[in-house]
């Protein structure tokens, strides 16, 4: 007899599936980033993109089946109980940005970051001076309106702060990448010098043996 899940069981089913797809996505992303073979890399990228699409579909099903929770059909899904049952930490739910997004779209990302930086600088320079709010105005505002104003200002502050943090992280990543490339080049140069030194030693050894044998034959 075919088992049919109850409406309340679909959330648990998709939650388990979601965690498994995240693990599969991370492994494929690492494989693609470290692979050098062009044909195999192309195939792995297709698989990775398919897993990413399926991951989005499962997340949509989770949102749709988020029944009986405090925030139904919300993008913020609570999976803490499931992580405890599976003996996993919160890193199991982290979905990192694919690294090939940063390498294959580098020009577009650099252009976007430049626009972002200019917009932030323009916004900071165009900020008006703080206006003094009359006490009568504060008395006329009810609690709900005051909360909305505070939330709006806080969201704006957090958005600006996240923008600056993203720019700072991007610059640090570029510096780290340059240091790694410089270190890699230095190691390669050291390796080439060691190879040349070994070759010189081998040539010297054979040359000395040849001259020694030649002197013995003459004597």
- pLDDT tens digits for 143-152? 777 788 888 8
Asked whether residue 85 falls in the same domain as residue 164, the answer is: no
Against a cut of 0.75, is the pTM above it? Answer: no
**Average pLDDT in the chain:** 77
| Residue 86 forms part of a structural domain | yes
212 in any annotated domain: yes
CA 140 → CA 143, 149, 154, distances in Å? 10, 14, 22
Report the pLDDT averaged over residues 39-67: 89
Residue 129 in domain: no
Same domain for 92 and 2, yes or no, is yes
Using alpha carbons only, give the angle 136, 144, 75 rounded to the nearest 5 degrees.
Answer: 150
- Answer yes or no: do 98 and 8 share one domain: yes
> Which of 62, 86, 104 is the last residue in one of the domains?
104
Q: CB within 8 A of 95, min separation 6: which ones?
A: 22, 25, 55
Half-sphere exposure in the Cβ direction for 144 (13 Å, CA): 0
Handedness of CA 59, 61, 63, 66 (dihedral sign): negative
Residues 3 and 100 in one domain: yes
3-class SS at 82?
helix
Which of 40, 75, 104 is the C-terminal boundary of a domain?
104
* Pair 85, 161 in one domain: no
Same domain, 100 and 159: no
Structural domain contains residue 128:
no
Whether residues 23 and 100 share a domain: the answer is: yes
Write down which residue in 79, 104, 129 finishes a domain: 104
Q: Do 18 and 91 belong together in one domain?
A: yes
Q: Let me know whether 88 and 174 are in one domain.
A: no
Place 52 in a pLDDT band, splitting at 50, 70 and 90: very high
The domain of 97 spans 1-104
Q: Give the pLDDT band of residue 70 (cuts 50, 70, 90).
A: very low
User: What's the domain count of the chain?
Assistant: 2
Domain check: are 159 and 100 in the same one?
no
Residue 191 lies in a domain: yes
Residue 123 maps to a domain: no
Could you read off the pLDDT of 175-209 as tens digits, one per residue? 888 887 777 776 666 666 666 677 778 787 777 87
195 is a domain residue = yes
Contact (Cβ atoms closer than 8 angstroms) between residue 5 and residue 13: yes
Looking at per-residue confidence, does 46 or 8 come out higher? 46
Q: Are residues 25 and 94 in the same domain?
A: yes
**In a shared domain, residues 162 and 72:** no
Residue 55 within any structural domain of the chain: yes
Q: What is the pLDDT of residues 73-129, one digit of tens each?
A: 566 788 888 888 888 888 888 888 888 877 777 777 777 777 777 777 766 655 555
């Amino acid at each position: 007899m075919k088992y049919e899940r109850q409406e309340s069981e679909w959330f648990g089913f998709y939650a388990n599936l979601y965690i498994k797809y995240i693990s599969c996505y991370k492994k494929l992303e690492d494989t693609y980033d470290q692979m050098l073979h062009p044909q195999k890399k192309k195939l792995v990228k297709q698989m990775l993109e398919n897993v990413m699409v399926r991951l989005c579909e499962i997340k949509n099903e989770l949102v749709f089946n988020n029944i009986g929770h405090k925030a139904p059909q919300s993008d913020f899904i609570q999976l803490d109980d499931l992580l405890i049952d599976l003996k996993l930490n919160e890193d199991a739910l982290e979905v990192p940005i694919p690294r090939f997004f940063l390498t294959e779209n580098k020009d577009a990302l650099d252009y976007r970051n430049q626009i972002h930086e200019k917009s932030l600088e323009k916004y900071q320079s165009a900020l008006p001076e703080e206006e003094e709010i009359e006490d009568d105005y504060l008395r006329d505002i009810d609690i709900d309106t005051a909360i909305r104003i505070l939330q709006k200002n806080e969201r704006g502050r957090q958005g600006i702060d996240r923008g600056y943090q993203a720019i700072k992280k991007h610059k640090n990543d570029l510096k780290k990448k340059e240091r790694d490339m410089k270190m890699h080049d230095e190691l390669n140069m050291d390796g080439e010098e060691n190879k040349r030194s070994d070759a010189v030693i081998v040539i010297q050894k054979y040359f000395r043996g040849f001259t020694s044998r030649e002197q013995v034959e003459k004597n």
